[in-house]
Each structure stands twice: as structure tokens, then as C-alpha cells.
Amino acid sequence: MRLRLGHGRDLAEDSVQRSAHRGHCLGGPGRAPARGRVSASPHERLRSRDGTELAWHHWPLHGPRLGSVLLVHGVGEHLQRYPHVAQALLEAGFEVGGIDLRGHGLSAGRRGHVLRWQDYVDDVHAAAERLPDPLFLTAHSMGALVALDFLRTDQRVRAVALSGPLLGVAVEAPRWKTSLAGVLSRLAPGLQLANEIDPAEVCGNLDVQRRYQEDPLNFNRVTPRWYTEMRAALLRVRAHATSYRIPLQVHAGAQDRIVSIESMRQFVDQWGGEHELHLWPEGRHEVFNEVFGPEVLRSVTRWLRTQAGAGDAAGGQGEQASSAS
């Protein structure tokens, strides 16, 4: 393993909010991508296995292509927060696509609720079918947990890069709360409860914090069924760690108080294929959005280019603390 220390609402069809938010952030900050063009239309739709309608976001590449990258966002947010990630991938030679998971962003479904975690996995599968080979995957937080569950049976993805993956929570709930969630998951599975995520812990970038709080497509509630399904997914994915064979790169903030860094370390150590973990000392949960985010993205894109056979050196700046196969 390589460990590097880097620098420094009930219904999801809220139609009024959604129509007002069409195209939000799709162009992204800064100049247009050098090797691609950000899609101007978020109106494309696709259907998951059970017929749920999902918003499809596509950043096509106009020029030589190393591969495709599927993006998966975290809980309570949406893919329209990732144009800078898509732009970095485009400039590195990758076509980019992804969806708003059910109950998120512009997709159908209840906010923060899922009857089966497999429904999220089916959403990712439907999105993956839209992208050509060779296929790579980049995911954040809860989206990383969904992606890892998807990868237990997937045969297409060549390598995966994760940001702040949810492999355990930073502060475990008391046992009585976990037991109560199990009861409510059976008796009142759709009850809306606050997820207790503090926007200040999302990122150290104050502008990102402000936009996170003001974004009408973000939400901070989940249901008991969502919680019990998430816990079951954690157990499945962690038990499968030694069976994964594709290359893995993980980036996380050492100051992350949302997900467990220790659970992340243990999981990466057990990964069955090539793997590396980059911890950013000043980073919180969303390292792509920190002031040093461009450096994180450079590390991701160099590594993905190497996995695609472009011959770039993997990794970003910073001290390499340990290395092993």
C-alpha cells in the first residue's frame, strides 16, 4: 500500500425547485476544458432497473480518449456539484458521465430514502451502461460505498479512485440508537430524520460551505430504512475487501469528522489488488473542494492515466509515508 501525506423534503420530485435548478453548475468554474466540452443539457434521463427515472449528466470528450469515468456523488448532494472534477478528467483525456442517484438532485424518488441498497447499485449499473470501455470509476463518500458494492460483481471497471469513502462513521451511534433504527426500519421505514452532518465539516473552504447550505437540491435527512441498508452495505463491502482485484486509489482529509479514517485505513490495507491511500493533513470531508483540491485532482488524473496505459507517474506531491504491495 502507498500512503501519502499531501499538502497543506419528503418527495424528490420537488418540481418547482428542480425546474429552477436545471443546468445549475454544469458549466463549472474557470475556463472551458482544453480537450472536451461540458454538456450544456441536464435534461437527459435514463431508467434504473425498477423503472425509476434518473437524471443523466454527460461530459463528452471531443478528441483522443483514454477511457470513460463514471462519477458517483455522496448522500444529500448531486452530480451538479462536480463540474470541476469532470473538467479535470476531460483535460486528462477521459469522457465523463454519471447520474443523480434516486432521491437526489434531479432524479425521481424520496429524499434520503431507499427500500433496498441494491436500488442504488442498480442506478450505478444503469449509468455504467451508458459509457464505453475502458471504464473507470470515481466516487465520493456514500457514493463510494455504493460503488464498492457495485464492484463486488462488476467485470468492466478497470480501476477506482475514491474520495472520503464511507467505510465507517467518525462517531458511532449509541447502541440504543442503532437498535431503535432497526425497529423503525421495519415499522416506519420512511420516517424522515436529520443526518446530523454539519456543513462546516464538509469542507474548509467557506465559499463551498455557503453554497452547500444554499443549494436547494441538497438535503440533510435520511430514513431508518436508509440507515439500516447503509449499515448492511458496510458489512458486505468490508467483508469483500480481500476479494477486490482492480487498482484502488483513495484520497481523504485527515480532519474528516464525518467518515472514519481508521475504518478507511483498515479497508485499504485489506484490499486485494494494487492500492494507495493519500491523507491530506488539512483536509475535511470533501477534499476535491478544498483550496488544495486542484492538487488532489491532479493526483487522481495522473493515476487514472497510468491505469489507462498513458505512462504518467501516479500520485501527487507530498511525503510518502509507507509503501507495500
Q: What is the pLDDT along the chain (325 residues), one digit of tens a residue?
A: 444 444 333 333 343 334 333 333 333 333 333 444 454 345 689 999 999 999 999 999 988 999 999 999 999 999 999 999 999 999 999 999 999 999 999 999 999 999 999 999 999 999 999 999 999 999 999 999 999 999 999 999 999 999 999 999 976 666 656 766 677 777 776 777 777 778 888 999 999 999 999 999 999 999 999 999 999 999 999 999 999 999 999 999 999 999 999 999 999 999 999 999 999 999 999 999 999 999 999 999 999 999 999 865 444 443 333 222 2
Q: Record the cell numbers describing residue 206, joined without a space.
A: 467557506
3-state class (DSSP) for residue 237: helix
User: Max CA-CA distance within the chain?
Assistant: 56
Containing structural domain, residue 162: 2-323
State the DSSP code for 301: H
Distance (Å, whole) CA 312 – CA 310: 6
Overall domain count for the chain: 1
Per-position DSSP letters for 108-130, written without gaps between them: SSBTT--S-HHHHHHHHHHHHTT
Q: For the domain that residue 174 is a member of, what is the CATH number?
A: 3.40.50.1820
3-state class (DSSP) for residue 234: helix
